Structure 1
């Protein structure tokens, strides 16, 4: 798989925010990486550079490759509604993202692995495609044989996030993707308008 497997803190420092979640290393050095550290003077970024940075931030945040992201943008542009908002909603409706949001996995990459390794079922059927797009009302659950996995039980024990568009039952280890989230509900710090402008060139 053509996934980024390098140091995540380096990427977080590039964007100036902990896009992969809590990161103690980032807190110590929350400035861009480079030989000269924080002392290096950086010129003003061009409009294109800002737009590209925003697109890369979104791709790294959701763990999506360029071709997948471009295809999602095409779907968003063809759909009704504001293109940038629809794009983020498509990212949020991915199965790996919802598994992460439900607290089943501590990160999106861990969620992607759980889905790929056949630990997750959707509406009673086994689904092992991380990019599987959920619809409102879909029920996501941990497979019966996988409920005792340490990575899942530990993640659920440490999870304290509550999202309005998702319900979760710890006893049955299943939740519902109640509705597509509105833009104001999505907590990610992404300026989707820059991405739309970049792809519209």
Structure 2
């Protein structure tokens, strides 16, 4: 199965928050999708909560199960707190960094820019969305792609909010992955400890 390409609102309603982007439907219909969405729901089991948190993280970062397991294993063997390492590695993905820099309006759009060879890493074309950046690497827009409407519109509409683990040069359209982010700086509403408990069973 490929990455989810269906309605973003459906996933947002499933988790009760717009994890795939802002959507009016999520706010209007604050209940899960489907014919039983408004029905009485029993208390979720511990396993159900853990599984839901893992699915939320996978949908948020656009990672498939096999890939997500590899990232978890990498986070598990690295010194430090496994859950925090997991989110740090997810944040260091090239597609996520392109999104965080404001070059693309969403992670899905960022993956497309990367796969279509519009993005450079240290001056070289990288078309692998899951490419793991390391501190010090430079992410930039390919010279002939700087005038792309999708990129200029995204940068124009990007808020002034910047992330302290990234540096951005708006004139040259280049960004630097300065360091892995601290957990407190990652804005995603994910309980990573539940994911660790799920994989530890």
Q: Structure 1-normalised TM-score?
A: 0.97
2:20, 2:170 → 1: CA distance? 24
User: Partner of 2:120: helix, strand, or coil?
Assistant: strand
1:34 maps to which residue? 34
Residue 127 of structure 2 corresponds to 128
Contact 2:72 2:86 in 1 (8 A): yes
How far does residue 27 in structure 1 lie from its aligned partner after superposition? 1.5
Which digits, 9 at most, give the CA deviation of each residue in 1:15-66, with x for residues without a partner? 011101211221211211121443x110000000000000000000000000
- Say whether 1:178 aligns with 2:178: yes
Cross-structure match for 1:65 = 64
Question: Greater CA deviation, 109-118 or 27-36?
Answer: 27-36
Residue equivalent to 1:188 = 188
Deviations 1:62-98 (A, max 9, x none): 0000000001011111100000000000000000000
Give the Cα separation in 1 of the matches to 2:169 and 2:22: 25
1:155 alignment partner in structure 2: 154
Instruction: Report what 2:55 is aligned to.
Output: 56
The separation in 2 between residues aligned to 1:21 and 1:13, in whole angstroms, is: 12
In structure 2, the partner of 1:108 is 107
1:123 and 1:179 mapped to 2: Cα distance?
16
Q: Where does residue 139 of structure 2 map in the other structure?
A: 140
- In structure 2, what is the Cα distance between the partners aligned to 1:167 and 1:89? 17
Moved more, 12-21 or 25-34: 25-34
SS of the residue corresponding to residue 175 of structure 1 reads strand
Q: Distance in 2 between matches of 1:105 and 1:144?
A: 16
Aligned residues: 200
Alignment gaps of 5+ in structure 2: none
C-alpha RMSD over aligned residues: 0.9
Name the residue aligned to 1:23: 23
Q: Which runs of 4+ in 1 moved over 2 A?
A: none
TM-score (norm 2): 0.97
Asked if 1 retains the 8 angstrom alpha-carbon contact of 2:8 and 2:21, the reply is no
